[in-house]
Structure 1
């Protein structure tokens, strides 16, 4: 099938999250991709949320879309529906396949998702790591998979540290280490707890869902609105990420973009995102984590170097680039 690019390509983004849902990494991807795709002159793009199935089919028949792009792997079973459009699927990670403590309901749903992924005409992934997972564990052919990294919003840039501390309500003289974690098994909270116990001279600021960490050296902030996140990154001296598995690692990218030096696990896709912009540590090496944190926070010059390295690395990732590379996948899909 050949598409005449003098005509507008008609795209439907079938999103997993609804407008009322709180911001998450997946929802940010859905929102940013749609906003930046809508700014491309030869594309006509519309959104439908997953609960609006009847609305979707009505709109599909009316608008005669060229491509339906399901923006989260849980929507993979849509590929089983026989419709005269090309189907593109984004797979962010294969977490349900590897972590057995995930609720049984999700595991059962995953079997259907797994069986459906290969039915997509094209598959977009956030990282080379996820691409290799799809090839190794789901036997998907390499030519069907396209790596399109995520971006970072322009809102994520450095702010005055003193003003940011005042805005967030952070006080005291201790150096601050920000962690974005939850009690999900791949987030590696066990290692995080051991690091916190070993470094009482620092204040750890924890954000994210799940059980709070009970320790006199930690401030549990829970959910922080996205509008406040650039200020929180700017208020902290270092961002620590101990996760064992990420399909991408958006918080790491956001921290670097805000001038917050990063110490991250080397698990899964994280080396692709961090690059030379932060320090990578083996996921469970508590001694190495502590040594690196002490080294960075004890030297202003070293810290400045990693601020520079991080912002340079983060500048390589933009949502405009994500949209442009996604458009290239659409074109390939329609011209094959």
Structure 2
């Protein structure tokens, strides 16, 4: 069973309803959809393989991420996404809508997957399900990428930039 995850606002702008409707088309015996975030889910009919976790407190987010295999981020517009990095740091594959900011983090099929629309998403999900070697390759690279954005590495790079700027003006 491949557990597809989503964490974030349950809003149209975040692509939640596109993801929700897509996951309803998948084989219930092979895939489940596990999601968390703020939004009105009372009106949604949840199939047997859909699990809503509500709004998670910070201390439960890693456990939620760990319970999923792959995450889909399908926002219409986004600033630099810490959510993508959080998921990658836990060794999970992210499938991301092709918006400009995603390219700052993701190299397609190296450390994540970038899609233009939902057209080939079924094929991609099934490929991840069936090809564990490709899956492991991407998730290992995802963890390495997330490490590049760790507090330690980001602080080091920021200090280097400041030192360089100061030296140029001295």
Q: Of residues 114, 129, 147 in structure 2, which corresponds to 1:315? A: 147
Shift of 1:325: 4.2
CA distance in 2, matches of 1:195, 1:181: 17
Q: Give the structure 2 partner of residue 152 of structure 1.
A: none
Is 1:215–2:41 an aligned residue pair? no
Shift of 1:178: 0.8
Shift of 1:230: 2.2
Q: Give the structure 1 partner of residue 111 of structure 2.
A: 277
Residues 5 and 72, structure 2, Cα contact 8 Å, conserved in 1: yes
SS of residue in 2 equivalent to 1:192: helix
| Structure 1 residues without counterparts, runs of 5 or longer | 1-173
TM-score (norm 2): 0.81
Greater RCO (CA < 8 Å, at least 6 residues apart):
2
- How big is each residue's C-alpha offset from its partner over 1:102-135, in whole Å with a ceiling of 9 and x where there is no partner? xxxxxxxxxxxxxxxxxxxxxxxxxxxxxxxxxx
Q: Of residues 73, 85, 88 in structure 2, which corresponds to 1:241? A: 73
**Higher alpha-carbon Rg:** 1
Residues 194 and 286, structure 1, Cα contact 8 Å, conserved in 2: no
- How big is each residue's C-alpha offset from its partner over 1:6-32, in whole Å with a ceiling of 9 and x where there is no partner? xxxxxxxxxxxxxxxxxxxxxxxxxxx
**Aligned alpha-carbon RMSD (Å):** 2.4
Q: How many residues align?
A: 160
CA distance in 2, matches of 1:325, 1:241: 27
Q: How does 1:106-121 map to 2 (within 5 A)?
A: none
Is 1:191–2:25 an aligned residue pair? no
Moved over 3 A (4+): 324-333
Is 1:231–2:58 an aligned residue pair? no
- How big is each residue's C-alpha offset from its partner over 1:83-115, in whole Å with a ceiling of 9 and x where there is no partner? xxxxxxxxxxxxxxxxxxxxxxxxxxxxxxxxx
Q: Of residues 205, 221, 226 in structure 1, which corresponds to 2:34? A: 205
CA distance in 1, matches of 2:146, 2:58: 18
CA distance in 2, matches of 1:232, 1:240: 14
TM-score (norm 1): 0.43
SS of residue in 1 equivalent to 2:135: helix
CA distance in 1, matches of 2:79, 2:97: 13
